[in-house]
Chain A
């Protein structure tokens, strides 16, 4: 699906990316007593003009991963490269130049816009931060263009965020992210805070934008249907690790990891004729604590197929020649 996918160098690459948050005890003298392994050895690549979906439930580490990919947070170990450059090795003007290439759309349109700035100021802020991007005289026109691009009326540029609806506010956030002409747009749950009837507008806008601007996207969501709708490739995340990656067709039509299959089984389909049968196998229990992940395979405590080997031997996501690597000891056997 993505054009010249194999030949183009990756736009974004994460290698063995890990972020542990220390757990401390004590009031005056803090002792380190453990670590929350929010992100624990994640490898992923995003190619040019490709959309990668990262799907997982709350607590799987997807938001921490987003912060690492955006270089907002430093990894405990591992590397991120954006067009071959390591953002954590850069500083000052070089880092700022790199930031122009990757931008992010945040989840909550009610908190992601400064309530004391007008729409025009919000969308124009990138130019104030990067004065070299657009000459001062052209900025007003550019802001108007951006507002139009995301489907807002440029005449509303003097309004404050609270005067817009949730969907319109999310459009403002998208316009701000597009202002510097990024090559990669990271969207963290871009529609989950919106009304059902408004979600499709924003999803379609993102879909159109990525096509017309040839944007690469990383879409982080808990909603399998949203990810499936928008993404070329999908990575499934569980407890700090990516358990399965593949093309959309591979993940949706022949998921191999038991967790991925459980996600599909649990996701409600808006059709009463396709109700989950009463005897369908549902995942039991809750997500284990990322501060004390299970030994061996992280999913084994909830896996209906867990065996002896899963208890002791960690699963690795190995390329087995199918471009559909799965972190499971028995991916073939447990399929259906």
Chain B
């Protein structure tokens, strides 16, 4: 990694608010991360953590109003996306940034064939003729390992199974060789056996293209399978970020640790679950201080008052936003 080349995708101190008649809701509150070439960064969080809103902000998909990006920068190879005029941002979104959605059935147009939708990427952005574009579409479907692509290119989305539809979505995202692909819960709607196929496909494609993959999910298992580095979000804030192995082996935030202790695991037959008490707060009423303190087993009075800074724990870049990060980090896991 050389100093002179700016990082692939750099998000700094991103804040997103929703201003509605019922008041202002702060959905994302100071999110920062860096995604490098050929790397998979997981944004891990539960519903309401702001992970999807953050992704949409990067993609420029938020509607203003009600959404307002109040602070922060999003840089793609040094180009500030938020400072760009909307047309430029749209152009970047089409070509350099791409997104894979959770629900392929609603993300694809039901009245157009899959081939037409894929070919459109080439006719609109690359100025190809219909014939040539359709040939590229078939090649693309081959690339995401859809069997009999030449025949299936004329099928409509509903004629594909869930797994195949998700492959079509991936093909669409990869059509213009983007530098960054954002996958928002790409396998949540799929069965485990199909999920495994899709995750493997993404890994293979990433090895081929060196794209940066931002994986947004709530699933600790999927994250462990795919991510190089992980950023954990809670109530709109970043609470921890680390290399994947580091995070799972020695979590530095009580929330991450709580999550790890509370999921049933196939590799730990008969081990009791230790649940996190309470529920994630809705974005409309985030607790003061550390947002996790009402649910935290080791919270002290200061946690309700001071918001803990997001600080570095180890030279390898393990960071955590907890007043007691060191103690949590050093406590034995299990």
Contacts and interface: CB of A to CB of B under 8 A. Distances in A.
Direct contact of A and B (CB under 8 A): yes
Interface of A: 57-58, 165-168, 195-201, 203-204, 222-226, 228-230, 248-249, 252-253, 262-276, 278, 282-284, 286-287
Contacts of A249: 269
B218 A204 contact: no
B263 A57 contact: no
A272 B227 contact: yes
A253 B266 CA distance: 10
A249 B269 CA distance: 9
Given A224-B266, A265-B196, A267-B266, A195 B218 contact: yes
Nearest to A226: B264
Contact of A286 (B46, B194, B274, B279): B194
B223 to A, nearest CB: 7
B80 interface: no
B279 A222 contact: no
A218 B39 CA distance: 42
Contacts of A248: 269
B276 A200 contact: yes
Contacts of B150: none
A229 B227 CA distance: 26
A268 B164 contact: no
B161 interface: yes
Interface of B: 46-47, 161-164, 191-197, 199-200, 203, 218-225, 227, 244-245, 248-249, 255, 258-260, 262-267, 269, 272-277, 279-280, 295
B297 to A, nearest CB: 13
Nearest to B225: A268
B162 A274 contact: no
A336 to B, nearest CB: 17
A166 B195 CA distance: 25
Given A196-B219, A197-B295, A203-B273, 7 more contacts: A195-B46, A197-B280, A249-B269, A272-B245, A274-B224, A282-B200, A284-B197
Given A224-B192, A268-B219, A196 B266 contact: no
Nearest to B247: A272
Given A270-B263, A272-B224, A272-B227, A197 B46 contact: yes
Contacts of A268: 192, 195-196, 199, 219, 221-222, 224-225
Nearest to B221: A268
B280 A286 contact: no
A97 B191 CA distance: 38
A167 B192 contact: no
Contacts of A198: 275-276, 279-280
Contact of B221 (A58, A167, A199, A267): A267
A284 B295 CA distance: 42
A271 B191 contact: no
Task: Point out which of B47, B192, B200 has the most chain A C-beta atoms below 10 A from its C-beta.
Answer: B192
A225 B264 contact: yes
B275 A204 contact: yes
A197 B245 contact: no
B170 to A, nearest CB: 16
A265 B199 CA distance: 13
A71 B171 CA distance: 45
B220 A270 contact: yes
